[in-house]
Homo-oligomer: A and B are copies of this chain.
Amino acid sequence: MSISLAELATRLGVPWRGAAEVALTHVAQLDQAESGSLSFLGDPAYRPYLATTRAAAVIVKPSDAAGAPVPLLLSENPYLTFAQAAQLLHPEPEVVGGIHPSAVVDPSAQVDPSAWIGPLSVLEAGASVGPRVFVGPSCILGAGVSIGADSRLVARVTLCAGTQIGERALIHPGAVIGRAGFGFAKDGERWVRIPQLGRAVLGDDVEVGANTTVDRGAMRDTVLGHGVKLDNLIQIGHNVVVGEHTAMAAKTGISGSTQIGRYCTLAGAVGVVGHLEIGDNVHFTGMTMVTRSFKEPGVYSSGIPAMPSADWRRNVARLKQLDTLTRRVKQLETLLANMNATPEREESEWMEP
């Protein structure tokens, strides 16, 4: 793949400066660029690299263009333009339709002729694979699974019976979608399984990371809306509904029947308990423990940042006495007030609810 600066600018719909015919073959960081490289300048901290880069062209904000010694693409959002350019320069290989002879395909499965079914994959009864879908090696499509056009199952994806995948999905190795969720009634000391009769239903443009698990619903569906992006090793419990364009980083877990809004971000290893309602545009920082609903947009956090272990031991010992400490302070305040030495502060500043 090689494309001229001028043609790339046209395809991206952005202005350019410099040699129209310079050939771009790949993307690279500013400080690692060489002949043929397209780079970008996002964070102003990297501006010094612009003077010395060997990139063939660089995507910059118009306000960073002055004096740049290389051909430029101009964009108000260089990182986004870079992502789009990278997709053009490094396209996924086109899917060549066909079924590998080692795949095991039930006669009732429907595979679009333009779709690829990789080696050692299994398609069970009634599975349906749309146009230009790529099913990599060793995938399992259970009975009644449906995959929309242009989706990619990289390799070793397990879609349990009934799972519905929209268009342009990207599912990474080891993902297990549509597992019967974790639901039991108690019979004395024993657990009795509740049949899980819902499905896992994923919208268009959804991404599911490696070894991530998405359980099917119990009596309704588990739903990931359009554009949801899940990183690796995430757990989505049964009946969970995730709104459109919400993204979750690795190792996050959402317990059963919780609803997550649209445009949310959950950083790594966040835990959300079940049956909550999280609104749109809610953002949780890494390792946050979410034990109640948050319906208002905002950024929420919890957890204690790392400190030297000796300090930590001292502080957590005190933390176990924090309720007592608070009472002691209140007592001191009362005592002093009784000594006619009332504190000179606003009561409301610290009054407990």
Contact = CB atoms under 8 A, between A and B. Distances in A.
A336 to B, nearest CB: 6
Interface residues of A, number: 137
26 contacts: A26-B197, A27-B195, A29-B219, A32-B220, A82-B185, A102-B102, A122-B137, A122-B138, A137-B140, A138-B138, A154-B179, A172-B179, A174-B211, A179-B232, A182-B229, A182-B250, A189-B263, A191-B245, A209-B213, A211-B233, A290-B306, A317-B323, A322-B322, A327-B350, A331-B344, A335-B343
Interface in A173-229: 173-174, 176, 179-180, 182, 184-187, 189-195, 197, 205, 207, 209-211, 213, 215, 219-220, 227, 229
A299 B304 contact: no
Contacts of A86: 194-195, 197
B335 A326 contact: no
Given A86-B195, A172-B180, A321 B350 contact: yes
A332 B329 contact: yes
A300 interface: yes
Contacts of A154: 160, 179-180
Given A154-B179, A179-B210, A197 B235 contact: no
Q: Which 4 A-B pairs have the closest CB atoms?
A: A83-B185, A301-B312, A314-B323, A324-B350
Interface of A: 26-29, 32, 77, 79-80, 82-84, 86-87, 89-90, 100, 102, 104, 118-120, 122, 124, 137-138, 140, 142, 154-156, 158, 160, 170, 172-174, 176, 179-180, 182, 184-187, 189-195, 197, 205, 207, 209-211, 213, 215, 219-220, 227, 229, 231-233, 235, 237, 244-245, 247, 249-251, 253, 255, 262-263, 267-269, 271, 273, 284-292, 294, 298-309, 311-329, 331-333, 335-336, 339, 341, 343-345, 349-350, 352
A104 B142 contact: no
B158 A229 contact: no
A142 B119 contact: no
A115 to B, nearest CB: 18
Contacts of A160: 154-155, 173
Given A137-B122, A210-B176, A271 B286 contact: yes
Contacts of A142: 155
Contacts of A271: 251, 268-269, 286-287
